[in-house]
Structure 1
Amino acid sequence: PLMADIIFYSVIELLTAFAPNFTVFLLLRALFGVGMGGEWGLGASLAMESLPTAARGLFSGILQQGYAVGYLLAALVYWIIFPIFGWRGLFVAGALPALLVVYIRAHVPESPVWQRHRERKQRVPLDIRGFIRQHGTLFVHAVLLMTAFNYMSHGTQDLYATFLERQRGFGVSEKSMISIIYAIGAICGGTVIGFFSQRWGRRRSIIFCAVCGLFLIPAWVFAPGTALLIAGGFLMQFMVQGAWGVVPVHLNEISPGDFRGTFPGFAYQLGNFAAAYAAQQQAWLAERFRTTSGTPNYALTMALVECVVFLAVIVLAATGREKRGKEF
C-alpha cells in the first residue's frame, strides 16, 4: 500500500503541472491530498513497527522532522526552479518521490509485526462497529489531540512571515533568514524531544513542550529587538516541533494493534482537517485587533490563539493514555 500510495500522489503531482485550467488544478490537488493523507499513517506505522522499542522515541522525532526538512528543500527547489520554469516546473519536481518506490521495493522489508501476522495466517476483518464500540472514546480523544497539535503548528507558522513583514517591517531577505533559523529549530526540537520522550514518557514530553511554548510567547512575537525575536522564533519552533516529534510513536503506541495501519493516520488527518482554517481565523481576528497605526495586530492575535491552544494540548495530553514502550 505504501508504494502504491507514493506512485499515486506522484503521478497526480506530475499531472498537476499540465493542468489546463483552475478547475482541473483544484481537482488534482484534492486527489493529491488523498494520496498524501494516506502516506503519513502507512509510513509511520511501518517505521514504528520495524524499530527496536528503545529506539522509537528518537526515530519518531527524526521521522516527523521530515516535514521541516521538506520545507527547507521546497524553498531551495523554488529558488532554483521557479525563476526558470515557473510554477509548472515545481510540480514536475514534486513528482520525483516516485523514484523512492524503487528503493522501497528493493531495500525496505515489511515490518516484523506484519510478517508475524502473515505467518500465523491472521486476517483481521474490518469491523467498523466493533471498533467504534471498543475504541471510539480513544479515537475521539486522539482526533481532538491532533486538532490541537495542528492548531499549534499552523498557528505558530502560517502567518509568522506576514507578521514579520507587515507588523515588524522586515524585508524578503530578513524573513527568509528567520524562516530558515526557525526551521532549524524545528528539526533540532523534534529530534531532541523525541529522544528524551523515551525516558520521560510521551505525555510528559508533550506537556513539557507546551508549557515552555506558553512562556516563550512574549519573546516569539513581542520581543523589542531582532536578535531576541529570532531567538524566540527558534525556541518556539524547537518546542512546537519537539512536541510533534513524539506524535508518530505516541499515536502508534496507543493504537489498537489490529488498526495500527489506519488509526494513527486517520486521527492525524482528521485533526489536520479540523485545523485547516487556522490561518484564516487568525487573519480575521488580526483585522479586528488593529494596532494604533491601523495595521492588523498579528502579534496579539497569534499570542492569544496560541495561549488557548497550548493549554488545550496540555489538558488533552494529561488526560490521555501513556503506552511508552508498548510491545507491538
Structure 2
Amino acid sequence: MRDSSTIGLRLDGLPLSGFHWRLLGLIAAGMYFDSFDIYIAGTVLAALIHSGESTLKLNATFVSVTFIGMMVGAWLSGVLGDRFGRRFSYQINLGIYGFASIAAALAPSIYWLIFFRLVMGLGMGAEIVVGYATLSEFIPAAWRGRFGTILNLIINTSLFLSTFLGWLIVPHYGWRWMFVIAGCGALVVWILRKSMLESPRWLAARGRTDEAEQIVARIETACGVDPAVAREAARSAARQATRDAAQTVAPAAARMSELFSRRLLTRTITAITVLVALFIVNYAFVSWIPTFLVKQGHSMSNSLGLTALMFAGGPVGSLIAFALAERVGRKWGIVAFSLVCVAFGVAYPFAQSAAMITLLGFAITACIYVLSSFSVASYVPELFPTELRLRGSGLANTIGRAVSIVVPYAVAAAFAGFGISGVIALIVATLLLQALIVGVLGAETKHRSLEAIAAETGDATRGDAGERAAAAVSR
C-alpha cells in the first residue's frame, strides 16, 4: 500500500542535503530575475523621459499596468497552480515574463512597451506566489522558515544589481538592454527549471500517490536515505498517529469557497492581513523616503545618500529573520517586529539630525524586511492545506497588490495634510492592526509539518497526531 498521508512525513524526515540547496537555487534564480524586472522600471522610465520617448503621464500608466498585471498574475497562478500543478505554473509564468521582456526590448513605441509590461506583470505577480509556496512543500519543517528567509534575502539583492547595471548600461547603450538582460536571464532559468520535480505533496493531494511515491523515493536516494526504510518508518508513525487520534484526517475541500469557510476563514484573514500590511508599509516608507527627505529640505544628492544608508537595513533585516525564524517562529516574530517597527516609527518624526534620521530609517527598513521574510516568504504559504495553498496565497497576494495600487494616493494625502507625521501614523496604525490580528487569529507554524498545520483547522487532536508522526519519522 502506498499511503498519501506518509508523503509529507517522509519529506519532513529527510536530512538537509544538496537536493534542497539546488532546489533553492533554481527557485531563487527565477524569482531573482522577476524582482530584477520590477526594479529596472525606475531607470528605464527616467531614460524614456530623457530621450523624449515618453511623458510623465505615460510613465504613470507604465507603473499602473505593472501592478494590474501582477495582481491578475497572482490570482491566476493560484488557480492554475492548484489545478495543474506547481511545476506547470512556475514554468508558464517564467516563460511569460521572459518572452515578454524580450518583446519589450524590441517595442517600437511607448504604447507597445506599456502593453508588454502588462503581460510581463502577469508573470511577475505569479512568480512570487508559486516560488515561495513550492519551496515550502519540499523543505523539512525544521528548516522551512530559514529557507524562506534565505530566498527573500537573495531576491532583495536584485535592487542593488538592477540599479548598478542601469548606471553602467543605460547612459551608453540605452534602456532596451535592461529588458534583454532580464528576459534572457529568465529564459535561461526557464530551461534549467524544466528538470525540477513536481511537488509530491500536491500529487498526493490530487490522489496521484504512485507519482508522489516515485518522486519522494528519488529525493530520498539523493539525500542518502533508503526509500524502503523511510517508507516503512513513515507508515508505522502514521498508523500510530491515527490510533492516537482515534480517527483519520478527512481530505479538505478543494473549492475556492473553502477559503471563506469556518474551517479556514481565520487563516485567510491572517494571510490577507500580513500581505496588505507588508505592501502598505513597504510602499509608504521604502518607496517614498527619498521624496520625504527632499520635501523636508534635504538636497537631492543628500537625500539619495541618506536613502542608500537607510536601505542597507534590508539585508540586515533578512539576516535577522534567518536567525530567528525557527526560534521565535513566524507568528510571534511578525507580532514582535510589528511592535518594534512601531516604536522606531513613532520616534522618526522627532529626529532632527541627519545621523538620527538615517539610524531610525535603517532600523525601520530592517524591520520591514524582517516582516517580509516572515510573512510573504514563509508564513502565508504555510497557513493553507496543500490543495488550496496556491489559491490561498494567490488570493492574499491579489488583495495586497490591489491595495498597493491605492497606497501612493493615501501616502500623498497623508503627507500633504500632516507631513511626515501623517505618513508615520498610517504605518503605525497598519502595524498595530497586523500585530493584533496575527496575535489573536494567527497559527504558529514553527517546527510543524504542513500536514499538522492543515489538520489543526479541522481538529486540534489530529494536528498533534501529525506532529508526533513527523517527530517519529525524524528520529
TM tier relative to shorter chain: 0.7 to 0.9
- State the match for 1:128 in structure 2: 256
Please give the alpha-carbon distance, in whole angstroms, between the structure 2 residues aligned to 1:190 and 1:20. 40
Question: Which residue of structure 1 aligns with residue 130 of structure 2?
Answer: 42
Residue 294 of structure 2 corresponds to residue 165 of structure 1: yes
Pairing of 1:177-256 with structure 2 (within 5 A): 177-247=305-375, 248-256=377-385
- Aligned CA distance change for structure 1 residues 223 and 61 (closer, same or farther; 3 Å): same
In the TM superposition, 1:24-43 aligns within 5 A as: 24-43=112-131
For each residue in 1:148-179, what CA deviation from the matched residue of structure 2 results, as whole angstroms up to 9, or x when unmatched?
2211111111110111222141333x344333
Q: Which amino acid aligns with 1:153?
A: N
Q: 2:191 aligns with which of 102, 106, 110?
A: 102
Partner of 2:163: 75
What's the CA shift for 1:306?
1.2
User: Quick one: distance in 2 between partners of 1:124 and 1:201?
Assistant: 26
Provide the rounded CA distance (Å) in 2 between the counterparts of 1:306 and 1:129. 31
The DSSP-based 3-state class of the residue aligned with 2:325 is helix
Q: Superposition RMSD on alpha carbons, in Å? A: 2.5
In the alignment, is residue 63 of structure 1 matched against residue 63 of structure 2?
Answer: no
The one-character-per-residue Cα deviations of 1:25-78 (angstroms, maximum 9, x if unpaired) are: 332222221111111111111211121211122221122234421211121121
* Farther off after superposition, 258-267 or 7-16: 258-267
Number of equivalenced pairs: 318
Kept after mapping to 2: 8 A contact 1:191/1:245: no
Q: For residue 264 of structure 1, what is the amino acid of its counterpart?
A: S
Question: Do residues 306 (structure 1) and 427 (structure 2) align?
Answer: yes
Matched, 1:119 2:174: no
Partner of 1:261, secondary structure, is helix
Return the letter of the residue paired with 1:302. Answer: V
Q: Distance in 2 between matches of 1:140 and 1:68?
A: 26
In 1, the alpha carbon distance for the partners of 2:279 and 2:101 equals 24
Cα distance in 1 for residues equivalent to 2:349 and 2:128: 31
TM-score, length of structure 2 as denominator length: 0.62
CA contact (8 A) 1:37 1:265 kept: no
Cα offset, 1:303, TM superposition = 1.5
Q: Distance in 2 between matches of 1:29 and 1:19?
A: 10
Distance 2:134 2:167 in 1: 33
| Of 219-228 and 56-65, the range deviating more from structure 2 | 219-228
Equivalent pair of 1:8/1:35 in contact (CA under 8 Å): yes
Residue in structure 1 matched with residue 172 of structure 2 by the alignment: 84
Q: Which runs of 5+ in 2 are unaligned?
A: 1-88, 213-250, 451-475
| Structure 1 length-normalised TM | 0.87
Query: 1:67-105 deviations in whole A, cap 9, x for unaligned?
Result: 421211121121112212333222222212221123323
Q: Which residue in the other structure is 2:449 paired with? A: 327
Kindly state the Cα deviation for residue 236 of structure 1 after the two structures are TM-superposed: 0.7
Name which of 379, 393, 397 aligns with 1:268: 397
Change (3 A) 1:98 1:214: same
1:292 matched to which residue of 2? Answer: none
* Pair 1:161–1:18, CA change in 2 (3 A): same
In the aligned structure 1, how far is the partner of 2:404 from the partner of 2:440? 21
Report the CA distance shift for 1:124/1:203 in structure 2 as closer, same or farther (over 3 A): closer
Contact in 1 for aligned 2:252/2:385 (Cα 8 Å):
no
Partner residue, 2:93: 5
- Deviations along 1:224-280, whole A, 9 cap, x unmatched? 111222111111111111011111221122112211233223312321221322122
Summarize deviations over 1:301-322 as a string: whole Å, max 9, x none.
3212112111122112112222
Aligned pair in 2 of structure 1 residues 195, 59: CA closer, same or farther (>3 Å)?
Answer: farther
Quick one: distance in 2 between partners of 1:195 and 1:113? 27
The letter for the 2-side match of 1:284 is A
Unaligned stretches of 5+ residues in structure 1: 290-296
Taking only the aligned residue pairs, the percentage that are identical comes to: 19
